[in-house]
Amino acid sequence: MRIRLVDAFTDRPFTGNPAGVLLLDAFPDDAWLQNVALEMNQAETAFAHPLPGGGEADWALRWFTPATEVNLCGHATLATAHVLHTTGAHRGPVRFATRSGVLVATPAEDGSITLDFPTAPLTAVEAPPGLAEALGAEPLTVLDTGPNVGDLLVEVADEETVLGLAPDLKALATCSERGVIVTTRPAGAAGHDFVSRCFFPRVGIDEDPVTGSAHTALAPFWSERLGRTALTGLQASPRSGLVRTELRGERTLLTGRAVTVVEGELLAPPE
């Protein structure tokens, strides 16, 4: 079996968000999938297999962190679509059957890929006890992002605050179902409309480099604030990456690029 490491939401190696990608004939047992994800030790490893023709989807897709399976992952979906198209395993738009419904990835002639994801429903909530202390910053706004994403979306005062965050990850893990998205407007003129960082210690990811699923919440939040449906977000992790978003009501389009960095042979097949 060929296994790959793909940097997503970037066009340069060693930036963006790396994801493992493994194409299979069928899904083995969950324990084996989890062990492969743990061995890859990336934020997510994606597993996909082709489905029979004539159905609502072309490939089945699942995502695992080193610790658990997740309901939605943008960068690993982008990475999987990139592998399918660059290897010729699938041509044209690909429909993935996932825990979050059918997700479509459409390649463009310029090499970018657009993901069609469900828009996260945002609900204003009270900040959980200890959130400000865990983050090391005072929240201005706190929103729940719904069951698919499972994060808290937290607005803070300025870009300097976002860039300077060094949260207490053990304490932060108690604040939400999955993680915490922290966001604000950029300082001065920039080639992007908002800035974010994402922390997911509860699922074994201290800080995620570029989080597609988080942008299904960031897009409606900032589109309402800025009065535009098409935006660009910078996720300001050490690896960094840009995500172009377009809000279409209950769906959000996420556009980015990907590059395969490592390709090898997995020598531990399921028994």
- Residues classed as catalytic: 44
CA 209 from centre of chain: 9
Torsion region of 16: left, alpha or beta (phi above 0 gives left; psi -120 to 50 gives alpha): left
Strands (E), the chain: 2-8, 17-23, 44-50, 59-64, 69-70, 94-98, 101-107, 113-118, 123-124, 141-144, 151-155, 179-184, 194-200, 205-208, 230-235, 241-248, 251-256, 258-265
Residue among 39, 59, 58, 56 nearest 47 (CA): 59
Question: Which residue is it, tokens 């993680």?
Answer: 179
Cβ pair 73, 100 in contact under 8 A: no
83, 22 contact by CB (below 8 A): no
Q: Which helix (H) or strand (E) holds 133?
A: helix 131-135
- Which residue bears the tokens 């080639």? 191
Could you give the CA distance from residue 246 to residue 147 in angstroms, rounded to a whole number? 21
Q: Are 168 and 142 in contact (CB under 8 A)?
A: no
